[in-house]
Chain A
């Protein structure tokens, strides 16, 4: 029973982790919480579904195209709604409100175009499951976790080892100095939004596959929990977002299983609050160094 819950929790947690890195990367560079991220996650799931159902594309193709489209949506959100505010040096709260507006806009757009009802997500990978005693792990769960692991590893390598990754870190640590090094910070910001949004799209699709349904509000709670995961792990810190995502996924499932299904959502935020009281910077967060 416990191990079953753990597996289910890690599966869900992997999707939170994929979403949480988007919050954390954007925050790292712009010190901004991008509240449109949950809607982007939902949009990703819908686009892939529509490419499969309306355009009859096969799943893999729909998946790749949908993820790229969603990545481009991430760039567009920044260019239209955030870049002009940055340029005018508007206060951070203006950008924050702007991202909430974008979130509502995307939700409404999806409802308008595709309807507000819950839609079936076809069973694209019906692979069955492994049974070990009473423990049942579906291949889909394994695939979800593996995709998350592979993408997180790839992301870590990009950020630690590649030129663009180093430019991202430099921009996050000191934007003016990064410009002095010759970094085109606007490109770096766009690239960051692309990465974050496309990873959120992957998470949205995986969740759609897992529950075999998508709906226009699915990004709301998932977005909040992924944000909680990012803060729990220490916002701005990549491994923190992954750790936070897994902890929230697991604890949510355990709470539902051992306490009451109604506690599912409350527990995620309960843990967040408890951790922040003890460690305000989050689990892996570093002390905020005030620039002098």
Chain B
């Protein structure tokens, strides 16, 4: 469904991605793990076109999207719930969700999407007319995921959805990610919490300073010595 081959991305002169090869198949949960500054967020930004790769290719369902602008990529069905939530603070919860559906015009289906999201995150319904900037961190995280889902993505990219959440809520978020996947959405999950991520994922990639160093079934990664030492703290 999504394929990155030999992707190099730069911030000015800094080479943040040094040749990424990555593939996601339909209906999978794939997780991308790595330590701080490894380039996880950069990989997601490059996929959605916020950062243009200097060399390399990205294709989505067989179409080359390497140089497609971000709004078009969203429209094609790749939605990102970005690191740090990035919700619109002075818009209401409802308006934030509306923005998520910005590229869609199918009224009836949009209505279904709202219902689905209020179903997944009942708290958002009770905060519907509240300014998003006044939500708690956890609520904002749910809003960010809900907003990305409003785009009716074929592929959902999640950048550290559990960051800063209470342990209880972390569990809930991972459960929801599984649920969203069951409902038919393919997921690329970036996480610091490598253990939880690998437990729900089908496959995983390990990123180190801009390079993929490991790639395998999630179960195998969970058992591998390298991963256990470096990312699971054992």
Contact = CB atoms under 8 A, between A and B. Distances in A.
Query: By DSSP majority rule, is chain A's interface helix, strand, loop, or mixed?
Result: helix
A58 interface: no
A180 B90 contact: no
Nearest to B79: A180
A179 interface: yes
B151 A182 contact: yes
A167 B103 CA distance: 11
A4 interface: no
Contact of B50 (A174, A176, A292): A176
A178 interface: yes
Nearest to B84: A292
A182 B101 CA distance: 9
A177 B88 CA distance: 8
B90 A177 contact: no
Nearest to A169: B91
B208 interface: no
A184 B100 CA distance: 14
A289 interface: yes
Contact of B89 (A167, A178, A289): A289
Given A166-B91, A170-B88, A173-B89, A182 B98 contact: no
Interface residues of B, number: 28
B29 to A, nearest CB: 21
B48 interface: yes
A177 B99 CA distance: 10
A173 B88 contact: yes
Interface in B99-115: 99-100, 102-103
B100 A181 contact: yes
Interface in B33-87: 48, 50, 69-72, 74-75, 79-80, 82, 84, 86-87
B28 interface: no
A115 B72 CA distance: 48
Given A181-B100, A183-B99, 17 more contacts: A163-B102, A166-B95, A169-B95, A173-B89, A174-B89, A177-B86, A177-B87, A180-B48, A180-B70, A180-B86, A181-B71, A181-B99, A181-B102, A182-B74, A182-B102, A182-B103, A292-B84
16 contacts: A170-B99, A174-B89, A176-B86, A177-B82, A177-B86, A177-B87, A178-B88, A180-B48, A180-B50, A180-B70, A180-B80, A180-B82, A181-B71, A181-B103, A182-B102, A289-B133
Interface of B: 48, 50, 69-72, 74-75, 79-80, 82, 84, 86-91, 95, 98-100, 102-103, 133, 147-148, 151
